Amino acid sequence: MIRLTLSEARTLAHSILLHNGFTADHAQAVTDTIVAGERDGCASHGLYRVLGCVSSLKAGKVVADARPEVIDQAPSIVRVDAAGGFSQLAFQAGLPLLQAKARSNGIAALAINRCVHFSALWVEIEQLAEAGLVALAFTPSHAWVAPAGGHQPVFGTNPIAFGWPRAGKHPYVFDFATSAIARGDIELHRRAGKAIPEGWGVDEHGQSSTDPNVVLDRGAMLTFGGHKGSALAAMVELIAGPLIGDLTSAESLAHADGSKSSPYHGELLIALDPKRFLGDAADQHLARAETVFESIEGQGARLPSQRRYAARARSLVEGVEIPEALYNDLKALLA
Amino acid sequence: MIRLTLSEARTLAHSILLHNGFTADHAQAVTDTIVAGERDGCASHGLYRVLGCVSSLKAGKVVADARPEVIDQAPSIVRVDAAGGFSQLAFQAGLPLLQAKARSNGIAALAINRCVHFSALWVEIEQLAEAGLVALAFTPSHAWVAPAGGHQPVFGTNPIAFGWPRAGKHPYVFDFATSAIARGDIELHRRAGKAIPEGWGVDEHGQSSTDPNVVLDRGAMLTFGGHKGSALAAMVELIAGPLIGDLTSAESLAHADGSKSSPYHGELLIALDPKRFLGDAADQHLARAETVFESIEGQGARLPSQRRYAARARSLVEGVEIPEALYNDLKALLA
């Protein structure tokens, strides 16, 4: 393993992205997200993703110098046209107006369109919660997941993320796929020649299957939580697809046209300002929310982001470790 | 069984509520909700609930003549103080301003405070979706449900409901508890002396239990979908509790003080206007949403509300049937 300080990790990612043709603002925005993932112990969303960013660019699947256009769509809606670039810069471009609208109107939405999306949603949600806002985010992906009772893919892994501000503490943040499991986990089982657990997928007749080949090639993944998870996956599909005028997971997969490229589609964020809901009583009511967290942690149960925050505390002191092979692959992109 | 036309069912519920002291506007609003439940085959939210409304009133748990106060809280927030009355009239009072704000600003929230709540959320969600809006609703209940990894109740059954408008069709609507199962289902097993399935609850040590007595008296119910369902239950607790300045499920249960009364707390609704997100392209994008529904139904999977809509079609022609014992109990309330 190779150990890097966070500053070294940042410099490495940033210089690779710049060297391979991304504009400085895209390189910076993507680096911020990728280093946050590595820092928080999410290796699958960490430095490894730099490889994918560069290969997407070489394959012509992302616009390296896309200039996000911010559109003041309605008093409580911001739209950002990402113009085929990665989602990060589009989010950054829309963030100030989203915050301003949430603060003045109480609730506001940010619709990001035509972005290439590979990142977890918690990075964005955390920024909103750190700014004192309650936040939700949704995005479709590629159609890999069958509806409850079905056997053909309709939904993407369709994540839902949520953030809640906590005074003097890291915000309460969750971010999970509405699929039972990440597609990558099923692929790892296939590579290892191992059966997958019941509940992850079905065969082409809708029967439960533990064969990763069957699920990936002929059947479909399943949602978490049966018909309830399936209903939520449909909701994400609708509100972060047609509602914002962007692609569904099926349309995104069709657009990828057999390539392994990241979804090209939209994302919906909603921000709510507790101060606008509660006025002067905001602090008092947010303190009552702390009672909810105490009653969860007090019985030994975990809050969703605790593992990430613990990894972050370690990384800030010790830096991060990445496999030497990954380090060498990254270095090769600077040649 | 006793068969009633919907008109007879309506007259029966309305006259009982009036006779027992509810004002005409409350009687009307509650009747609309209860008859909708009976009509749609949800007997547990149907005429049977009239008994609970009257007993709540006799027990001093609901204000029969509460006048909901509509507060224009912020450009995109309506608040309604239900003043201790049932939620239905408060929702009706806030609905016009919620719709107006969603239509002018793109997204808006309705916070209902200090209401007594016994109804399903789909009745309200459907009204918003029928008006062409996308809608979400959340409410806590009483603290009966443990967080994932825990053994003490923190959350209520904390439902999430969603609606999506469909041109010329019933809207896509779901409404489910984030608990694995309704508390009433566990109580039915207890009365029948039957074990409950794994996954519904835990004992006081957090071990899975199939004994309804253990789960109801010493342990806790579980959420659906493991840690993901638990995270969603926490979200509902927060955004429909402290965010709107109202009680958490634990506080609502404490307020009930050992009585069997309905939760007394708040509800959050969010409405989004596709026309504000999409402008002239709204119809075109809503048509793409139909492709999602077709790909679900086309493979033999069911949309969440199909059973209710089928029951509705039957009830509109044939009326509804209720047990004779229930009919007699209802008639007795007119004496």
Residue B246 bears catalytic tag: no
Q: Structural domain of residue A152, as residue ranges? A: 69-179+223-279
Q: Are residues B99 and B148 in the same domain?
A: yes
Q: How do residues A245-302 score in pLDDT, each as one tens digit?
A: 999 999 988 888 777 777 889 999 999 999 999 999 999 999 999 999 999 999 999 9
pLDDT at site A304: 95
Cβ–Cβ below 8 Å for A149 and B301: yes
Token pair of A292 as six digits: 């909810």
A275 touches B at CB < 8 Å:
no
B192 domain residue, yes or no: no
pLDDT at site B332: 97
> Average pLDDT in the A46-72 region?
95
Length of chain B: 335
A156 domain residue, yes or no: yes
Q: Are residues A84 and A136 in the same domain?
A: yes
B297 domain residue, yes or no: no
Q: Which of B285, B106, B102 is nearest to A73 (CA)?
A: B106
A194 domain residue, yes or no: no
CATH of the domain at B19: 1.10.1530.10
Q: Are residues B45 and B144 in the same domain?
A: no
Q: Which residue, among B103, B181, B272, would best test binding to A if mutated, counting the most A CBs under 10 Å from its CB?
A: B272
Portion 278-307 of B in contact with A at CB < 8 A: 278, 281, 285-286, 288-289, 291-292, 295-296, 299-302, 304
pLDDT at site A89: 98
Token pair of B311 as six digits: 């029951």
Portion 96-155 of B in contact with A at CB < 8 A: 104-109, 111, 134, 146-152, 154
Q: Hey, which residues of A are catalytic here? A: 44-45, 185
Q: Are residues A231 and A257 in the same domain?
A: yes
Q: Are residues B101 and B145 in the same domain?
A: yes
Cβ–Cβ below 8 Å for A276 and B73: yes
Q: How far apart are CA A289 and CA A237, in angstroms?
A: 30
Q: Which long-range contacts (CB under 8 A, 24 or more apart) does A321-325 make?
A: A321/A1, A321/A2, A321/A3, A321/A4, A322/A1, A322/A2, A322/A4, A322/A38, A322/A43, A322/A46, A322/A47, A322/A48, A323/A1, A323/A2, A324/A1, A324/A2
Q: Which residues pair with A295 in a beta bridge?
A: none
- Pick from A235, A264, A279: which residue ends a domain? A279
Q: Are residues A145 and A87 in the same domain?
A: yes
A245 domain residue, yes or no: yes
CATH of the domain at A82: 3.30.1370.60
What does the DSSP 8-state code read for residue B145? Answer: B
> How would residue A236 be classed by pLDDT, with cut points 50, 70 and 90?
very high
Q: Are residues A174 and A100 in the same domain?
A: yes
* Structural contact between residues A301 and A142, judged by C-beta atoms closer than 8 angstroms: no
Q: Are residues A120 and A169 in the same domain?
A: yes
Number of domains observed in the structure of chain A: 2
| Residue B160 dihedral angles phi and psi, to the nearest 5° | -125, 130
B80 neighbourhood in chain A, CB within 8 Å: none
Q: Are residues B88 and B126 in the same domain?
A: yes
Q: Are residues A156 and A9 in the same domain?
A: no
* Structural contact between residues A204 and A218, judged by C-beta atoms closer than 8 angstroms: yes
Closest CB to B272: pick one of A178, A241, A243.
A243
- Pick from B242, B261, B279: which residue ends a domain? B279
Q: Which residues pair with A269 in a beta bridge?
A: A110, A137
Is the ipTM beyond the 0.85 threshold?
Answer: yes
Residue B185 bears catalytic tag: yes
Q: Are residues B37 and B89 in the same domain?
A: no
pLDDT at site A138: 98
pLDDT at site A255: 84
pLDDT at site B45: 87
A239 neighbourhood in chain B, CB within 8 Å: 134, 272
Q: Are residues B50 and B96 in the same domain?
A: no
A288 domain residue, yes or no: no
Tell me how many residue pairs between chain A and chain B have CB atoms under 8 A apart.
228
A253 domain residue, yes or no: yes
pLDDT at site A260: 75
Q: How do residues A129-178 score in pLDDT, each as one tens digit?
A: 999 999 999 999 999 999 999 999 999 999 999 999 999 999 999 999 99
pLDDT, averaged in runs of 10, over chain B (335 residues): 97 98 98 97 91 93 97 98 97 98 98 94 97 98 95 96 97 97 90 94 94 95 97 98 96 83 90 97 96 96 95 97 96 95
Q: How far apart are CA A330 and CA A163, in angstroms?
A: 32
pLDDT at site B310: 97
A201 domain residue, yes or no: no
pLDDT at site B55: 92
Q: How far apart are CA A136 and CA A133, in angstroms?
A: 10
Token pair of A108 as six digits: 């506001």
